[in-house]
């Protein structure tokens, strides 16, 4: 019974504070997290006794991501989507560090989070916006008959594919691009380009890029010797 009362009090306290006009507010912090990796959502509070921490996902029912009070993690009401993926830096809570470590980041984690910290002295709300990224990790290019196919996958946000050919052909080359979303919400992209016959050496360069990263694959083709050389290069964008 004692435990149940405790949880109810804490939940009540949290609800009330959400509507308190004088709660200390600061602008959202944006955090970019790599898909599949671990990420720290920063939160700092003024330490004092009776620390209560709630990390809440600001979406739908404002689900509980991680809670801490009575000097323990309190995960009885944790949203199952976050099960086994959250942790606090326990040894640093007494110093005012309420940052949350989130493991195995996926696309559903994107969005706004509330860090609510309450002590005997003061209540604080800070918001963190989590953005997920999956960089272009590799680009494959192959020649089959007279078409060049270029492929990449596991990318977020949505990528684009562009071709460049040198020497520059006299006409626009027939080419198509397809983008698919996989079951995790990441994008696969493939492009097919019909080559032109020529006696000169041609270079086909395929570039896949999104907001964060561009990666190129290049194929050099000499019709007479059927000599194919490939190269890849990466460029990160800031
Ligand atoms: C909290 O501690 C972690 C682990 O040492 C550190 O990475 C993070 O920057 C700290 N955050 C704040 C807000 O102090
Ligand atoms: C390539 O061309 C050959 C000969 O025309 C044909 O038999 C083969 O199916 C083609 N391969 C592909 C993948 O289109
Ligand atoms: C690929 O197709 C697009 C659309 O038709 C065209 O604008 C572009 O120039 C083509 N690329 C090449 C290398 O010809």
E-strand spans in 74-167? 86-88, 100-102, 111-118, 123-133, 140-144, 147-155, 160-166
pLDDT band (50, 70, 90) for residue 25? low
Report the pLDDT averaged over residues 73-80.
95
CATH number (domain holding residue 211): 2.60.40.10
**Is the CB of residue 95 below 6 angstroms from any atom belonging to ligand 1?**
no
Ligand closest in space to the Cα of 92: 1
Q: Which of 92, 114, 133 is the last residue of a domain?
A: 133
Tokens representing residue 68 in the block: 């801490």
| Single residue among 133, 165, 183 that ends a domain in this structure | 133
Q: How far, in Å, is the centroid of ligand 3 from the Cα of 30?
A: 37
Contact 114, 125 (CB under 8 A): yes
201 — pLDDT class (breaks 50, 70, 90): confident
Asked whether 175 lines ligand 3 (CB < 6 A), one says: yes
Taking residues 155-161, what's their average pLDDT? 93
Q: Are 125 and 27 in contact (CB under 8 A)?
A: no
Ligand in closest contact with the CA of 126:
1
Whether 113 and 161 share a structural domain? no
| Whether residue 32 has its Cβ less than 6 Å from ligand 1 | no
- At residue 232 the predicted structure's pLDDT band, cuts being 50, 70 and 90, is low
Output the residue whose Cα is nearest ligand 2's atom 3: 145
Q: What confidence score (pLDDT) does residue 10 get?
A: 36
E runs forming strands in 12-135: 24-25, 29-34, 39-41, 52-57, 64-69, 72-73, 86-88, 100-102, 111-118, 123-133
pLDDT value of residue 52: 97
Which ranges of the chain does DSSP label H, i.e. alpha helix? 2-18, 90-93
Ligand 3: which atom is nearest the Cα of residue 169? 14
The domain total for the chain is 2
Q: What average pLDDT score do residues 65-84 get?
A: 96
What's the DSSP call for residue 199?
S
Domain holding 65, by residue range, is 26-133
In a domain? residue 1: no
> pLDDT by residue (tens digit) across 40-51?
999 999 999 999
Do 57 and 149 lie in one domain? The reply is no
Q: What is the pLDDT of residues 167-181, one digit of tens each?
A: 888 888 999 999 999
Residue 83 has pLDDT above 70, yes or no: yes
Task: Judge if 126 and 39 occupy the same domain.
Answer: yes
Does 235 have pLDDT greater than 80?
no
CA 161 from centre of chain: 21
Tens digit of pLDDT for each residue in 87-134? 999 999 999 999 999 999 999 999 999 999 999 988 999 999 999 999
Q: Is residue 13 a part of any domain in this protein? A: no
Same domain assignment for residues 99 and 148: no
Ligand 3 near 170 CB (within 6 A): no
DSSP at 44: B
**Closest approach atom of ligand 2 to CA 144:** 13
């Amino acid at each position: 019974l004692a435990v149940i009362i405790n949880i109810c009090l804490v939940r009540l306290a949290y609800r009330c504070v959400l509507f308190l006009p004088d709660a200390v507010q600061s602008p959202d912090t944006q955090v970019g997290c790599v898909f599949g990796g671990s990420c720290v959502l920063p939160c700092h509070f003024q330490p004092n006794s009776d620390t209560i921490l709630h990390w809440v996902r600001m979406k739908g029912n404002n689900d509980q991501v991680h809670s801490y009070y009575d000097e323990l993690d309190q995960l009885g009401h944790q949203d199952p989507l976050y099960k086994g993926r959250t942790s606090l830096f326990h040894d640093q809570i007494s110093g005012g560090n309420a940052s949350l470590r989130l493991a195995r980041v996926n696309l559903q984690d994107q969005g706004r989070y509330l860090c609510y910290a309450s002590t005997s002295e003061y209540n604080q709300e800070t918001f963190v916006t989590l953005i997920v990224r999956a960089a272009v990790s590799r680009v494959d290019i192959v020649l089959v008959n007279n078409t060049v196919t270029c492929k990449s996958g596991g990318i977020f946000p949505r990528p684009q594919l562009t071709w460049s050919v040198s020497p520059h052909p006299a006409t626009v080359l027939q080419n198509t691009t397809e983008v698919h979303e996989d079951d995790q919400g990441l994008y696969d992209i493939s492009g097919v380009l019909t080559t032109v016959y020529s006696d000169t050496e041609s270079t086909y360069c395929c570039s896949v890029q999104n907001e964060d990263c561009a990666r190129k694959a290049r194929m050099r083709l000499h019709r007479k010797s059927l000599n194919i050389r490939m190269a890849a290069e990466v460029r990160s964008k800031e």
